[in-house]
Amino acid sequence: MPAATAKSAFWLGFRDGVPFLLVLAPFGILFGVAATEAGLPLLETMLFSIVVIAGASQFSALQLMVDATPTLIVLATALAVNLRMAMYSASLTPYLGQARLWQRALIAYFLVDATYACAISRFEREPGWDLRTRVAYFFGAVAPVCPSWYVLTLIGALIGTAIPAWLALDFAVPICFLAMIGPMLRTLAHLAAALTSVTLALVLAFVPYSLGLLVAALAAMMVGAWVETRMERAA
């Protein structure tokens, strides 16, 4: 493809981010509905999405809050669910780590599953892009995704229980993650981590306060790291 400018990279990122709205739409609306049903007022629901901006973590925390789970466990679970963001950040550092401080701050805030999936896929395919072009592309991917999350949360909070039960918007949650994670399982370490997390999450489903999820996440990271280390030594 022709050499990309910052402007063309931005719009390329925008186009790459738009398809995620297909699963993001029901996902965001569902959170707004769930938060309203849980008793959160509109302002708190919106602050939840604006400050946290992490769907899976928000759903996990909300469910635990509804179950009157101790605050420390709510926070620990939300952080565990979002540990993948630390790995996303490390993965993007070679491409965006030299950006200006204010740019890195915004990148960190807007680093969600969809923007990461767009960015890492594109950056690996375009090794010749300079820093300015990569930053522009990232914010292009942000443009259709993150503002939509706020708007969709607002829509869900406003319509509340008006959505009929048969519509089953919760189908979007697993589909969203399968769509993003599936193509990334390219190495044995990735597959080992995924298999470990799925197996332990199911086996430990009986553990109260969803603590089994914490164990599964930590174990998956350790197994993935161990397999990758063994593969590097064998290479």
Residue 138 in any domain: the answer is: yes
Domain that holds residue 195: 186-235
Q: pLDDT tens digits for 12-56?
A: 999 999 998 987 888 888 888 888 878 889 999 999 999 888 877
Q: Which position has the higher pLDDT, 174 or 54?
A: 54
Q: Which position has the higher pLDDT, 172 or 186?
A: 186
Separation of alpha carbons 101 and 111, rounded Å: 15
Q: Which position has the higher pLDDT, 136 or 72?
A: 136
State which of 134-138, 179-183, 189-193 shows the largest mean pLDDT.
Answer: 134-138
pLDDT band at 169 (very low <50, low <70, confident <90, very high): low
3-state secondary structure 96-138: HCCCCHHHHHHHHHCCCHHHHHHHHHHHHHCCCCCHHHHHHHH
Considering the domain architecture, whether residues 208 and 138 belong to the same structural domain is answered as no
Residue 57 in any domain: the answer is: yes
Residue 64 in any domain: the answer is: yes
Considering the domain architecture, whether residues 103 and 219 belong to the same structural domain is answered as no
Residue 217 CB neighbour total at 10 angstroms:
22
Considering the domain architecture, whether residues 145 and 73 belong to the same structural domain is answered as yes
Separation of alpha carbons 118 and 65, rounded Å: 32
What's the confidence (pLDDT) of residue 177? 61
The domain total for the chain is: 2
Which of 169, 184, 199 lies at the terminal end of a domain, its last residue? 184
Considering the domain architecture, whether residues 59 and 119 belong to the same structural domain is answered as yes
Separation of alpha carbons 82 and 192, rounded Å: 19
Q: Could you tell me the pTM of the whole model?
A: 0.76
Q: Give yes or no for a contact between 96 and 134, defined as CB atoms under 8 angstroms apart.
A: yes
Residue 189 CB neighbour total at 10 angstroms:
19
Q: pLDDT tens digits for 117-133?
A: 999 999 999 999 999 99
Considering the domain architecture, whether residues 170 and 221 belong to the same structural domain is answered as no
